[in-house]
Amino acid sequence: MDKRKLLKKLKKQNKITKAVPKYIERMENYQKIYAEFPEIKFLINNVIEADRLISKNELPQDLPPLILADNIQDKIFEYVNSKYAPNDPQGDKLWNKLSDNLPKLDKDLRSFRDYLEAEYGMWAYISAPFIQDIAKYVDNKKGLEIMAGNGYISKGLRNLNKQIIATDSMEWIKENETGKHLLTQVEKIDALQAIEKYKNEIDYVIMCWSPDGVDIDAQVLNKLRSIDSEIELIVIGEKNGATNSKKFWKKAQFIENKQVIKLNQHHKPFDLIQDQLYLVK
């Protein structure tokens, strides 16, 4: 291939790349398109603000369910009819613009978690209010976070002057963004070794979003049960769903009380994942 053809091919590829806006750019575009629809702007603004905070290594706020209302298309139709007479070309143009972008927006809203995973290695959505609730619960106890990833939980707790040791094996660093965007110091050590190393120093262990189908979580549970001193296990995940192994969920004994309800008051589902905080023994 001669240089002219190669240059033409590269320009074409570059043009195609530029033609596909990035996630947040698309959200900002939707923000303009649906500027007259407060219920849509509310969802978009929450996404953009969460991204802004996370990009600055800060914990975001709680999210509402990122789902468009069932009657949103009817509201758009009513809005267009209030602005333009029937069969007005400008009204048809506006209707097409608003209705054509709606399924794209719906898909992007539902994909926010995927974006956070790919962009920041943030698997569980950890908000500042959620961390504040955990901080109140652990009080002055010393904790150990295993499988800490980029350290969102430990970072939040340390900002609130809580004592916590953050650890992760970093086994997933070649496969995704885990370990590439550390927010705080994370010791490279696997979960079982970390528990053995710090068992005499800690009062509780936090395990968040243990990988689906990998039974390291069940091994952690067995390890904690074998230790003489009582070490509390705090688990964040989706029961029999996107996180942890079936073996773990089967072996886990859950503590159900008002404290658990209070700990989950700021950890509500915003998409199809129904993860929660559990106290496990």
Domain extent listing, the chain: 3-120, 128-280
* Topology, domain 128-280: Rossmann fold (3.40.50)
* pLDDT at 174 (0 to 100): 62
Query: Taking 80 as the threshold, does the pLDDT of residue 188 lie above it?
Result: yes
CA neighbours within 13 Å on the CB side: how many for 153? 29
3-class state of residue 166 by DSSP: strand
pLDDT-based confidence at residue 176 (cuts at 50, 70, 90): low
pLDDT tens track for 73-130: 999 999 999 999 988 999 999 999 999 999 999 999 999 999 999 999 999 999 999 9
The Cα–Cα gap between 177 and 152 comes to 13
Query: Taking 90 as the threshold, does the pLDDT of residue 17 lie above it?
Result: no
The Cα–Cα gap between 162 and 204 comes to 12
How many residues are given for the chain? Answer: 281
* pLDDT at 21 (0 to 100): 83
pTM (2 d.p.): 0.88
The Cα–Cα gap between 99 and 75 comes to 11
pLDDT tens track for 143-163: 999 999 999 999 999 999 999
Task: For Cα atoms 112, 182, 163, give the angle at the middle one, nearest 5 degrees.
Answer: 110
The Cα–Cα gap between 38 and 130 comes to 26
Query: Taking 90 as the threshold, does the pLDDT of residue 19 lie above it?
Result: no
